[in-house]
Amino acid sequence: MIIETPSKVILFGEHAVVYGYRAISMAIDLTSTIEIRDIDGNEIILNLNDLNKSLRLNLNEIKNINPNNFGDFKYCLCAIKNTINYLNIEPKTGFEINISSKIPISCGLGSSASITIGTIRTVSKFYNKQLKDDEIAKLGYMVEKEIQGKASITDTSTITYKGILEIKNNKFKKIEGKFEEFLKSCKFLIVYAEKRKKKTAELVNEVAKIENKDEIFKKIDKIIENSLKTDNKEDFGKLMTKNHELLKKLNISTPKLDKVVDIGNRFGFGAKLTGAGGGGCVIILVNEEKEKELLKELNKENVKIFKCKMIN
Ligand code: PMV
C-alpha cells in the first residue's frame, strides 16, 4: 500500500498568528510518499530513501520507544508508536516502511508533518482501521508535541484536511467555496531561496521585541480580509507582495528572499516569503503569460524551484 501526503505553505499571516491574529495556510501537491508492506519475522524496518538511511527494530520495542533517540527517524517512529497505542493494537507481524519525499526540509513547508500524517494514515490502514481526519490530525499534533516539546496545529491540520485553512488561536476553520475554487485555478512556484539561518523559535523571539508589531499585524489582518474577497489573480498577487513588505518591517526577510520576491513581482502576479523567514522559501503567484521569463530569471539565482498547486 502506498499513501501520498501533501505539504503546506502559509499564504498570509505568519508571525501574526502567534499573537492571536489569523493566518491562511494551503495544502500543496509537493508530497511525501509512504509505502508499507508486511514482512516475515518480528521486525520493523524503516527506510528513508532520500537519505539512504535504514533502521531495524524489534516489534516489541515500538510501544514504549523514545523516538527522540532516533534522529531522522523520530517523526515516523513516534507516529507508528502513537497510532499503534491509540488503536490498542498488539503488533504481531513485521512490516517495512519506505519513505520518500519531494518536500525540502527545514524551510517551513511542513516536511515532518507530512511524514507524520502519512505514517499515521499508512499504519492505521495497514491494520484495517479507518481513522477519521479529526483523529489523524489530533494524533499528528501529539506527535509534533512529543518531538518538539511545543507545537502549532498549522502544519498537521492543513496536511490532514487539505485545501485552505484559516488558523487562529491554535484552532482552524476550513475555507471552502469561491475562495477555494479561485486558489485551485492558481499556479504557484515555491522557490527555496536559501538555507534558513535561524530557527523558527529564534525568529519568533526577535519579532516579539519589535515595538509596533501590533500595528503591522493589524495591517496583515486587513490584507487577509481583502484576499478572502478576491477572485482576481492580479489583485491577489498584489496582496501577497503587500504582506511581504510588512514582513520586511518585522526584520524577518533577507536580501536573497527580497531578490526572489522582486523577480516574482516583475514576472509573476506577486510574491512573498512564506513561513518564519530568515531564509527558506518564497511563494510566487505565476502569471502564465510570463512564466518562461519568470523561470529564466529565477534560474540565474541558484535557487530550487518547485511548481505547485493547491490540493484538496
Ligand atoms: O516554522 P515555519 O516556517 O512553518 O513557520 C511558522 C510560522 C510562525 O507563524 C512564524 C510560527 C507559528 O508557530 O505559527
Q: Are residues 190 and 139 in the same domain?
A: no
Answer whether residue 173 is part of any domain. Answer: no
Q: Confirm or deny that 108 is annotated as ligand binding.
A: yes
C-alpha cell at 4: 501520498
Quick one: pLDDT at residue 174? 97
Is residue 89 situated within a structural domain?
Answer: yes
Contact in structure between 213 and 167 (CB atoms under 8 Å): no
**Beta carbon of 204 within 6 Å of any ligand 1 atom:** yes
The pLDDT of residue 231: 94
* 152 and 218 belong to one structural domain: no
What does each of the 312 residues of the chain score in pLDDT, given as a tens digit? 999 999 999 999 999 999 999 999 999 999 999 999 999 999 999 999 999 999 999 999 999 999 999 999 999 999 999 999 999 999 889 999 999 999 999 889 999 999 999 999 999 999 999 999 999 999 999 999 999 988 899 999 999 999 999 999 999 999 999 999 999 999 999 999 999 999 999 999 999 999 999 999 999 999 999 999 999 999 999 999 999 999 999 999 999 999 999 999 999 999 999 999 999 999 999 999 999 999 999 999 999 999 999 999
Asked whether 118 and 48 are in contact (CB, 8 A), the reply is no
**Per the domain annotation, does 149 fall within a domain?**
yes
Q: Which domain holds residue 259?
A: 178-308
The owner of cell 516502511 is 97
Predicted complex ipTM: 0.96
Q: How far, in Å, CA of 150 to CA of 205, rounded?
A: 15
Amino acid at 193: A
Tell whether 105 is in a known binding site.
Answer: yes
Looking up cell 516569503 gives: 273
Residues 57 and 116 in one domain: yes
Cell of 94: 513485521
Per-residue confidence (pLDDT) for residue 229, from 0 to 100: 96
Burial of 140 (0-12, 13-18, 19+ CB in 10 A): buried
CB distance 148 to ligand 1 below 6 Å: no
Residue 206 C-alpha cell reads as 526577535
Q: Where are the alpha helices (DSSP H) in 149-302?
A: 153-161, 178-184, 200-208, 213-228, 233-249, 255-267, 291-299
* CATH value at residue 80: 3.30.230.10
pLDDT at 150: 83
112 lines ligand 1 (CB under 6 A): no
Residues 155 and 207 occupy one common structural domain: no
Give the mutation target among 17, 205, 247, 282 for probing the ligand 1 site: most ligand atoms within 8 A of CB: 17
The domain total for the chain is: 2
pTM above 0.90, yes or no: yes
Residue with cell 518547485: 306
CA 44 to ligand 1 centroid distance, Å: 33
pLDDT, residue 25, reads 98
Residues 20, 93 within the same domain: yes
Rounded CA gap, 206 and 33, in Å? 35
CATH number of 189's domain: 3.30.70.890
Does 136 lie in the same domain as 100?
yes
Ligand 1 atom at shortest distance from the alpha carbon of 203 = 10
CA-wise closest residue to 103 among 160, 152, 50: 50
The answer to whether 112 is annotated as binding is yes
CA 30, chain centre distance (Å): 9
Tally of CA atoms within 13 A in the half-sphere of 143 that contains its CB: 33
Residues 259 and 144 in one domain: no
Ligand 1 binding pocket includes 13 (Cβ within 6 Å): no
- Domain assignment present for residue 269? The answer is yes
User: Of 168, 190, 205, which residue constitutes the final position of a domain?
Assistant: 168
CB of 276 sitting under 6 A from ligand 1: yes
In order of 30, 70, 86, 196, 253, the CA distances from 75 in angstroms are 18, 9, 16, 21, 29
Spatial distance between the Cα atoms of 135 and 24, rounded to a whole number of angstroms: 22
- Verify whether ligand 1 is closer than 6 Å to residue 7 (CB atom): no
Do 222 and 126 lie in one domain? The reply is: no
Residue 37 is assigned to a structural domain of this protein: yes
Through-space distance between the first and last CA atoms of the chain, rounded to whole angstroms: 21
Residues 225, 253, single domain; the answer is yes
205 contact partners, CB below 8 Å, separation of at least 6: none
For residue 207, how far is its CA from the centre of ligand 1 (angstroms)? 12
Same domain as 292, residue 198: yes
- Give the pLDDT of residue 85: 96
Domain boundary among 143, 168, 193: 168
Question: How many angstroms from the chain centroid is the CA of residue 144?
Answer: 13
**Residue 155 a catalytic site member:** yes
Angstrom distance (rounded) from CA 54 to CA 39: 15
Residues 25, 141: one domain? yes
- Residue 293 has what pLDDT? 98
Cα-to-centroid distance, 277 and ligand 1 (Å): 9
Are 62 and 81 members of one domain? yes
